[in-house]
Structure 1
């Protein structure tokens, strides 16, 4: 049961999870709430943060203008999908406090304002890897982690036209999402981090969404359980892999891994996931353990990914040492929504 609206009415909300875990469905459910606006998926938060040193000192108006023009004008940012006036938003960024978080917050706030809503945020599966960056920009953010049976996630990932890596990498992604989530939970606690499971969400949307609303400090709205209408308006028809979001919520894809994965893939995934599956209530297949050669190959892929992530962390520390401005969002809270 919700205790009423959060006293900070525009506290950002970030949704993440392993790709193909249902984050788009959850985003649409949240966007169906009368006080919450979450776009389908933007492509400017992380690239802007990564390139923050290149934009220079944001105390300089011309640099804020260049940042604003990149966000609103570059096709890679997906700004055009938000349905906002580029010139108006660019001017608002230039007039905002001179920090990267403020500039990005202006865009998300403008998107929420388009729908007359005070709460704003974003959804991107890979945010589980970048929570530190998001927290630096939005220290009061709330994180929602959607978890799905890892075998279903990797089965679906393998079928995506945009996924270019092999099965071993896909298995690593789910395991990394779970482990990052655990660390973030321990760091943030129950006020700022929340987990829910896809299987329960599609089985009983009203109950799961009511609990989620309690975490967010919002009243549950039944419209959240019927996101198909929002999906038809906002999900691109080109994204065939999101086609089911336009239909009624269903459990039909739960456990589909049993038909979509080969026996060796199931065995390898279960061995790699270890106790993580059981801890979320996912039943093992009972298949024999994978071969030594498969386990060795997986270990090599996993080690390679860990090395790449360590190198990325070193680059990030260097950038933090050289960034020209604070990055924290300094926007004042939006007025409370009274309707």
Structure 2
């Protein structure tokens, strides 16, 4: 009888356990080699690169809980936090902080999970839309109001997908003088963004907003109008959204349950004051950086030697 058999005989009679040899390759595995996995366990798939295919809901009654959501399509530093705080004071409108829902993605850990959803007629893009809709609807239900307003600046980059996800969505385009946007974007983080970098980086958002305006139907409002005559600007938005005008929108600090959140929109002292502050003076046309001239022309702001007429639609 070998030593191992003698040991197992004694160990088995005393404890009911026996010693077994470790399978080759399990112990002392070479560094860098693939780890062993439990029998029958499929390793999770790596997320696939690229955005998934998407489409409008096949059955909106079953696939969507959120009805007629409102999306503020605006560049960074354009006053979107001010606008959402004011709209949140309305009895029918809930405008939370930036939700960044477009960054919520669905990935299949197994092929069976993907196959199961395919059998239901759903792809990865459909599953993501269901997730987005549930998140936003949950936020709206918690508020007890009727319509949700979302203002994340990055939404401009996926405006076509948002329109496909919610075919009944409504869009408000918020514009501001491009040079004022770039300057404010630099001042928000001067160490990270030089004035030149701020111009080019903020221009990405402005161009995305302009593409959205070309593709979607909506209502356009300007930051300068919002600060100079907020009552008229807000009355126009209320008329577009088919909700009654409510004067308390002008004193958003007194009728607001949504505090600014650092990193999810503007949270500085000016926005926390609870009242509309005067905007900064517009730059002289000759002071507008050259890369901003085309978008200034598209939005009706004078720049360089040219003065463009305002676009109002």
Using structure 2 for the length normalisation, give the TM-score. 0.62
Select the residue among 207, 217, 221 that pairs with 1:179: 207
Aligned to 1:202: 227
Any conservation in 1 of the 2:261–2:267 contact (CA below 8 Å)? no
1:70-93: CA deviation from partner (whole Å, max 9, x where unpaired): xxxxxxxxxxxxxxxxxxxxxxxx
Select the residue among 108, 124, 134 that pairs with 2:162: 134
Give the deviation of 1:230 after TM superposition: 5.5
- Aligned ranges for residues 160-171 of structure 1 at < 5 Å? 160-161=188-189, 164-171=192-199
Aligned to 2:87: 30
- Whichever structure has more helix as a proportion of its residues is 1
Aligned to 2:248: 223
Runs of 4+ in 1 over 4 A off after TM superposition: 230-233, 237-241, 278-281, 283-286
Give the deviation of 1:106 after TM superposition: 1.9
Count of residues in Structure 1 that have an aligned counterpart in Structure 2: 230
Aligned to 1:110: 138
Give the deviation of 1:9 after TM superposition: 8.7
Q: Which has the larger radius of gyration?
A: 2
Consecutive unaligned residues in structure 2, runs of 5 or more: 1-64, 118-123, 306-313
Aligned to 1:47: 103
1:5-61: CA deviation from partner (whole Å, max 9, x where unpaired): xxx993011113221111101111121111111211123x1211xx3344754966x
Aligned to 1:254: 280
SS in 2 for 1:117: coil
Provide closer, same or farther for how the CA distance between residues 200 and 113 of structure 1 changes in structure 2, counting only shifts above 3 A.
Answer: same
Provide closer, same or farther for how the CA distance between residues 59 and 114 of structure 1 changes in structure 2, counting only shifts above 3 A.
Answer: farther
Give the deviation of 1:237 after TM superposition: 6.6
- Aligned ranges for residues 311-326 of structure 1 at < 5 Å? none
Give the deviation of 1:206 after TM superposition: 1.2
Name which structure has the greater RCO, CA cutoff 8 Å, separation 6+: 1
Select the residue among 217, 242, 255 that pairs with 2:268: 242
Per mean C-alpha deviation after superposition, the further-off stretch among 118-127 and 240-249 is: 240-249
Any conservation in 1 of the 2:81–2:266 contact (CA below 8 Å)? no
Give the deviation of 1:116 after TM superposition: 1.4
Any conservation in 1 of the 2:102–2:132 contact (CA below 8 Å)? no
Provide closer, same or farther for how the CA distance between residues 224 and 152 of structure 1 changes in structure 2, counting only shifts above 3 A.
Answer: same
